Structure 1
Amino acid sequence: MSNDRPRSSSVVALLADIPSTGHLGDARAQRFTLDGDDLAAQSSDFLDFTGRQLTQGRKIVALYPKWHSSRAERAIRFARGSFQSDHIAAVPVDLAPLTLSLLADQLAYLAPYLPSGLVTALADELPNHMLAGGWLKSVSNLSTIPISVKQHMGSYAPNTTFLAFCAPAKRVGRVKRNNPSPNIPARPVEPIQMLIARPEGQDITAFNERFTPALRPVSAGALPEQPLGAKYWGARKYIEFVAFSAHPEALTHAVRALRPTACTWCREPVIGVHCKFCGAANQPPVGKPPTRNADVPPPPTKTTGEHVRPTWIAQDRRAESAPPAQEPPWPDGGHARPTGAFDPPPHHPAPDDGSRTQG
């Protein structure tokens, strides 16, 4: 009879004005725009949703953009205090709106099959398997991704194009010689799908002619501009994109990349130091996770001397464990070889050239 707790179930909520991409069909995170004049009005819909889910025994994974967080953080604190429950996890995500929308729906798709703790951990892992960013003419007002003074000044030069990435790493690069390939930090596993969002009327010709061929996606879907896109990119003219793997096991690979431990307090699987639900401190595992289905290397062969330990360096274990014996002096004042010592390797003394001092 097992004493393990049953696997917890969760639902995913996105607390921001970030519409769904519709890429995963009916698998969508519950959206809350948090509109209203005060905290009660902003949080009322989220509180009703939270109360229903807690009554049914589900935990809530509440995502929100880290760069647009004030209302979301207040609503989550209000809900945790109102229901006196730590089954509501606050998960800030530092991604662009289009990427965050796709991430929220991916988590909603996986939530019925995974423990709640793993769902929260995947919010940090899944962006490592994407390529997401923006195609910009200026980065002078970009505050969500670090830029250099040179890049800031280069924004005022004519005919300048920048590629700014928010996943898998934050970086900004200037597209030189109309070739964006050197700017791309990584590629998702093929086949690659891509989603693109842009303001109405924004020219996409250069993007399709230069950047899209560099990724070679099997499909590219066009979407309306995200309401918070201009705030994230600090510009009115931009093209936002997210590329991800369309391989059938792409999401499974992301889950297998995790190395969770059980929270010391609530026993949820956690990645990192603090549990997203109860806030307890944990000790993350040391080292890298083992490679799945890795081939075990064969034992070294002994056909050559390369893999054979020389016999003269194998000391007698009894000699190692025994206390050092008092050695009788030799007539010339030296010491005798201790009993049981190993035989040293052959040594040929250098010819006497008369330079050594005679005893």
Structure 2
Amino acid sequence: MPTAIAVTSADLMLPAPDRHTPAAAVLRPPAQLDLEGSLAETAALLERHGHVVAVVPSWLPVTTVRRLHTVRAILESDRIALVGTDLPPLGAALLVRQLRQLSVCDFSPGVIASAARLLSHYIYAGALLGSVAKLDRIPVGLKAHAKSWSPGAQFAVLAHPEPHLVRLGSSGGGGGAHGAGAAALPPGPGFATHLLFARGQLASDWVTAELAPAWQVQGVLENPLPADSPAWWATGKLVEFAAAIPDIAMLYQLVASVRREQCRWCGAELIGDRCGFCAAPLVAPPAAVPGARSGNGPASRPRS
């Protein structure tokens, strides 16, 4: 059986792009399942799949994150990876789908877990917002805050991989992470992607009519808005979007091209600079030198 990819909400499980991509396992939160049930749920996954890679978004409630760590600790299992991500909800769902695609390839569980950080760099996630007055996920200038109270104001916001804010239809600066003119758009990927979008309470076709052609995406698909999106973007007046590599062959080549190492702590295979299962860094921190200064200067000579 392939490595199980787990999520904490069904909203993070997008439809499979093909018949080979398995579904994600949904680990129910504390409000839906007690600790004993969570232990049984996770233990059954381990027995069936051998390893579990759970995607843990940074915006999850503290109680849910604590439950995941508690289950892992009680089961005393080094076969459970808790992979964090800062992506907004729709972008996180795309990352989960890519991990599901890779789970049926000939990668070890350790490579799949550590590949999440690599794949995140190639996901462009943002939203069209009717207001940025309460947005605190990316830098928003005072001018953009003031203009967000104007009737009909709309902002194109890119949260990942680099923050970027554009006030649509403006003639001056965007007042956010970058200035923007009337024709400016958030910078897009320089590689082939498909674009996924989800409508909130904002009636606009800007994503499909302007953003998709400008980004030269190879496909556009609409998806229901994740339940956590309004809270993440601090408004229900939005259209969320995310672009990512859809082709499993390209994803495979991307991951396979990275040198593989063995974790010095748990022995799992990994790519990058950190183990996906135990979070140990690839290279041990340098040992303290006796007599070394506390600053960044060279160590002082030991006295005879």
Same fold (TM over 0.5): yes
Picking from 184, 187, 208, the partner of 1:185 is 187
**Is the CA contact (8 Å cut-off) linking 1:180 and 1:211 kept in structure 2?**
no
Q: CA deviation at 1:23?
A: 4.1
**Is the CA contact (8 Å cut-off) linking 2:114 and 2:274 kept in structure 1?**
no
Structure 2 gap ranges (5+): 172-180, 285-304
Q: Deviations over 1:245-271 (max 9, x none)?
A: 345632124314534421112221234
| 1:175 alignment partner in structure 2 | 168
SS in 2 for 1:18: helix
Comparing 175-184 and 70-79, the one that deviates more: 175-184
Pairs aligned (count): 272
| 2:53 alignment partner in structure 1 | 61
SS in 1 for 2:128: strand
Q: Give the whole-Å Cα distance in 1 for the aligned partners of 2:49 and 2:220.
A: 39
Picking from 114, 134, 139, the partner of 1:121 is 114
AA at the equivalent of 2:130: K
User: Compared with structure 1, are the counterparts of its residues 153 and 272 closer, same or farther at alpha carbon in structure 2 (3 Å cutoff)?
Assistant: farther
Picking from 72, 81, 89, the partner of 2:81 is 89
| 2:232 alignment partner in structure 1 | 232
SS in 1 for 2:149: coil
Q: Give the whole-Å Cα distance in 1 for the aligned partners of 2:70 and 2:22.
A: 27
User: Compared with structure 1, are the counterparts of its residues 271 and 141 closer, same or farther at alpha carbon in structure 2 (3 Å cutoff)?
Assistant: farther
SS in 2 for 1:249: helix
Which runs of structure 2 are paired with 1:153-302 in the superposition (5 Å)? 153-176=146-169, 182-190=184-192, 192-199=193-200, 202-247=202-247, 249-256=249-256, 258-271=258-271, 274-283=274-283
Higher relative contact order (CA 8 A, sep 6+): 2
Q: 4+ residue stretches of structure 1 with deviation over 6 A?
A: 178-181
User: Compared with structure 1, are the counterparts of its residues 69 and 123 closer, same or farther at alpha carbon in structure 2 (3 Å cutoff)?
Assistant: farther
Q: CA deviation at 1:13?
A: 0.5
User: Compared with structure 1, are the counterparts of its residues 130 and 29 closer, same or farther at alpha carbon in structure 2 (3 Å cutoff)?
Assistant: same
Aligned-residue CA RMSD (Å)? 2.8
**Is the CA contact (8 Å cut-off) linking 2:197 and 2:221 kept in structure 1?**
yes
User: Compared with structure 1, are the counterparts of its residues 69 and 36 closer, same or farther at alpha carbon in structure 2 (3 Å cutoff)?
Assistant: closer
**Is the CA contact (8 Å cut-off) linking 1:118 and 1:270 kept in structure 2?**
yes
Structure 1 gap ranges (5+): 1-7, 285-359
| 2:135 alignment partner in structure 1 | 142
| 1:49 alignment partner in structure 2 | 41
TM-score (norm 2): 0.78
User: Does residue 107 of the first structure (1) align with residue 136 of the second (2)?
Assistant: no
Identity %: 25
Q: Give the whole-Å Cα distance in 1 for the aligned partners of 2:168 and 2:269.
A: 42
Q: Give the whole-Å Cα distance in 2 for the aligned partners of 1:209 and 1:252.
A: 31
SS in 2 for 1:173: strand
AA at the equivalent of 2:29: L
Greater Rg by CA: 1
